[in-house]
Structure 1
């Protein structure tokens, strides 16, 4: 039997279940340094199963933004404007979502596999000019940083007051 790791966020209305499989994790939306920003940023999407009144209510993908400082030392978890994993949650529910994100970034071997596959894909890409080489090297540095994250590295910038 193949047992899967899962995490559950219990909200007032439903259970949001994250099953730890590579197909349930996406990393996209890379933004690099420019004259207005001093950090790298990308989005992590998690496919969540929704259970309401003990019945399947559908799936949804929820996101969190990750910013990494220019020196690659600090990771900041930022609430995105849309489809946030923290949306419509009270303080306790947001704390459960924070626990899920911490687990994902620090302990999840599946997340590390997704990151490692992305690194391998970038290394196989055919880059043809200086700009593409620079972009690929930045992505590689950011992704390689994700392979060695500790709880002390992560800073959450999430509003925890009760808005639900």
Structure 2
């Protein structure tokens, strides 16, 4: 028997269930540092199963953002503007979401394997030139850094991202 790891966020209205499978995790929106924002940024999307009144209520994709410092020494989790995993949650529910993110970044073998697969595919498509080479190397470094995230290196900034 092959059991899957799952995590549940109990909210006032429903249960949001994350099943630790690579098909339920999306990494997208890689951004390199700019003067206004000296961080690398990546969006992480999680497919969650929704259960209401003990019945299947559908699925939803919830996101959180990762900001990684240029020196790759710290990771900050932030709330995106749309489809946030923290949206419409009270403090206890937000704490459950933080525990899920903590598990994903630090313990989840599926997340680590997905990052390794992205790194492998990225290296296979190694068709970069001049200026692109610096961004290519930076993206590889950030992805490789995600494989070594430690609990002490993750900070949570649960507030809306400022876009100005």
TM over 0.5: yes
CA distance in 2, matches of 1:141, 1:115: 12
CA distance in 1, matches of 2:65, 2:77: 6
State how 1:149-164 maps to structure 2 within 5 Å: 149-159=149-159
**Residue 113 (structure 1) aligns with:** 113
Q: What secondary structure, in the 3-state scheme, does the structure 2 residue paired with 1:158 have?
A: strand
**Residue 2 (structure 1) aligns with:** 2
- Note the aligned Cα RMSD (angstroms): 0.9
CA distance in 2, matches of 1:80, 1:103: 19
Give the TM-score normalised by structure 1. 0.94
CA distance in 1, matches of 2:126, 2:102: 34
CA distance in 1, matches of 2:6, 2:128: 41
**Residue 46 (structure 1) aligns with:** 46
CA distance in 2, matches of 1:4, 1:102: 18
**Residue 162 (structure 2) aligns with:** none
CA distance in 1, matches of 2:37, 2:157: 17
Q: What secondary structure, in the 3-state scheme, does the structure 1 residue paired with 2:34 have?
A: coil
Structure 1's unaligned 5+ residue stretches are 160-164
Give the TM-score normalised by structure 2. 0.94
**Residue 101 (structure 1) aligns with:** 101
State how 1:1-164 maps to structure 2 within 5 Å: 1-159=1-159
CA distance in 2, matches of 1:131, 1:49: 42
CA distance in 2, matches of 1:136, 1:54: 47
Runs ≥4 in structure 1, deviation > 6 angstroms?
none
Structure 2's unaligned 5+ residue stretches are 160-164
Equivalenced residue count is: 159
What is the CA-CA distance between 1:128 and the residue it aligns to?
Answer: 3.6
Mapped contact 2:43–2:65 kept (Cα < 8 A) = yes
What is the CA-CA distance between 1:24 and the residue it aligns to?
Answer: 0.3
Q: What secondary structure, in the 3-state scheme, does the structure 1 residue paired with 2:7 have?
A: strand
